[in-house]
């Protein structure tokens, strides 16, 4: 903080910006908080406007619905551990953002909230499940917003909205006591931002550490986005634009990924046209762990949700979870092990992997119908894999991955590319993302709806 403006002045402007952009985007799950949620004024990010996601019991006393009409009058009894870290960092939490029902869609379009719209094109969606967060950040209302990712829910909205979306390594950010502990390790808590530096600074603040101990990173990850320490040396980077033989990737997305590879070679890295060898069937089966986890959390509530108020795929999730047995879970865990081994084998010979984030451009509103009564859970997961077959593998394996907004389509829509590193190597991920941001900056690109 330079002292040129006060925290109160920043908050007032942020509140005005949120109100203006939300009237177009429908990104808020409820009216803005009044007053803001308490934070530590000595935190490294003191006074920075922030929003949390309607993804469960995040902040003490704050209502949540997980985007569902079936959950009413539910409030978190305590702060989640990630919320404790947000408060310690000094973030000024102003609002709660929209999410699809139970967070199980790449479209933030629920029966409870309606569609959240993309600030680049109001006929397009924002991705999911952290769609409201991405819409607010992309529109310039807040610089950072809470997001989480069990199968792409940070990176897909980041790609759709032209943002930086970092999914940290499994265990890098804290979970619990009520949110994020389940999910068989697939769910990671973090945020979306507009710059690599902002994501690195926030990660320094919220990385898992002992209770009561702040900022214990022996080497702050934010140093890896600073010149001259940005240079990670010559790295071997695999690149693929097709997750499986015959899978479809939009030609504009392919071109953006190839362009990124050329840029990495120009910077000085070595490229290898190869990616992990993974079976689509294993990705589908392993992602059932996230489904079982979500379903079990809802079924364990004191009052089971009224099925008449659920969207169709959610009803299927509860039914399939209730009927699942030990053999079903073991089958999914075995698939998780196969995916993890395949990813680990790739990173025994490579430093990073480059892929598209999404196989397609940001989807039109209504392109994904979560309320389709004829859709089984596995059919729904297959639809999500068609949107992006590139993201869920790294929830399953626990690797860190980042989506950066390196390109735009002919229509002016954002295109994200994904970088993946070995577990715990956020330093390489952030350093190379910072190199790309410096070589092909995106800060001058602003969407149609922007709080200027």
Catalytic residues: 53, 129, 153
Q: Is the peptide bond before 25 cis (omega within 30 degrees of 0)?
A: no
- Which of helix, strand or coil describes residue 192? strand
121 alpha-carbon distance from chain centroid: 20
The β-bridge partners of 312 are: none
Residue 291 parent element (H or E): helix 280-299
Contact 41, 91 (CB under 8 A): no
Q: Count CA atoms closer than 13 A to 170's CA, side-chain side.
A: 20
Of 219, 149, 225, the closest CA to residue 388 belongs to 149
Closest CA to 130 of 84, 87, 191, 68: 191
CA angle 147, 65, 286 (to 5 degrees): 55
* d(C-alpha 1, C-alpha 20), whole Å: 26
Instruction: Write the CA distances from 103 to 89, 90, 235, 348, integer angstroms.
Output: 26, 27, 35, 33
| Closest among 226, 222, 48 to 143, alpha carbons compared | 48
The angle, 0 to 180 degrees and rounded to 10, between the axes of the packed helices 426-439 and 251-267 is: 100
């Amino acid at each position: 903080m330079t002292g040129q403006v006060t925290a109160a002045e920043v908050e007032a402007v942020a509140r005005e910006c949120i109100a203006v952009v939300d009237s177009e985007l429908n990104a808020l799950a409820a009216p803005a908080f009044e007053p803001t949620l308490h934070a530590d004024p000595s935190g490294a990010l003191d006074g920075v406007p922030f929003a949390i996601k309607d993804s469960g019991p995040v902040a003490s006393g704050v209502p949540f619905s997980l985007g569902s009409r079936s959950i009413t009058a539910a409030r978190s009894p305590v702060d989640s551990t990630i919320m404790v870290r947000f408060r310690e960092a000094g973030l000024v939490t102003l609002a709660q953002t929209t999410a699809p029902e139970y967070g199980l869609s790449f479209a933030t379009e629920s029966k409870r909230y309606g569609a959240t719209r993309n600030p680049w094109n109001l006929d397009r969606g924002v991705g999911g499940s952290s769609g409201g967060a991405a819409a607010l950040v992309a529109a310039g209302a807040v610089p950072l917003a809470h997001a989480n990712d069990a199968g792409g829910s940070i990176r897909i909205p980041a790609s759709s909205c032209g943002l930086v979306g970092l999914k940290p390594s499994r265990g890098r950010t804290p979970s619990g006591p009520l949110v994020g502990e389940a999910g068989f390790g697939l769910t990671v808590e973090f945020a979306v931002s507009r710059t690599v530096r902002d994501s690195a600074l926030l990660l320094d603040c919220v990385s898992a550490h002992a209770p009561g101990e702040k900022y214990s990173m022996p080497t702050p990850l934010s140093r890896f986005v600073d010149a001259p320490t940005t240079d990670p040396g010559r790295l071997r980077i695999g690149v693929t634009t097709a997750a499986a033989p015959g899978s479809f990737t939009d030609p504009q997305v392919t071109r953006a990924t190839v362009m990124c590879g050329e840029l990495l070679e120009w910077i000085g890295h070595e490229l290898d046209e190869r990616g992990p060898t993974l079976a689509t069937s294993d990705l589908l089966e392993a992602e059932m762990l996230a489904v079982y986890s979500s379903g079990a959390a809802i079924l364990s509530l004191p009052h089971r949700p009224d099925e008449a108020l659920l969207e169709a795929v959610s009803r299927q999730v509860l039914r399939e979870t209730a009927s699942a047995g030990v053999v079903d879970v073991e089958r999914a865990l075995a698939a998780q092990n196969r995916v993890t081994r395949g990813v680990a084998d790739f990173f025994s010979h490579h430093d990073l992997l480059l892929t598209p984030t999404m196989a397609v451009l940001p989807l039109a509103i209504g392109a994904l119908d979560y309320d389709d009564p004829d859709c089984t859970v596995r059919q729904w997961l297959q639809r999500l894999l068609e949107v992006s077959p590139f993201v869920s593998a790294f929830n399953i394996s626990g690797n860190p991955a980042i989506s950066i907004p390196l390109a735009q389509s002919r229509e002016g829509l954002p295109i994200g590319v994904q970088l993946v590193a070995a577990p715990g190597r956020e330093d390489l991920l952030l350093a190379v993302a910072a190199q790309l941001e410096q070589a092909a900056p995106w800060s001058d690109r602003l969407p149609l709806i922007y709080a200027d």
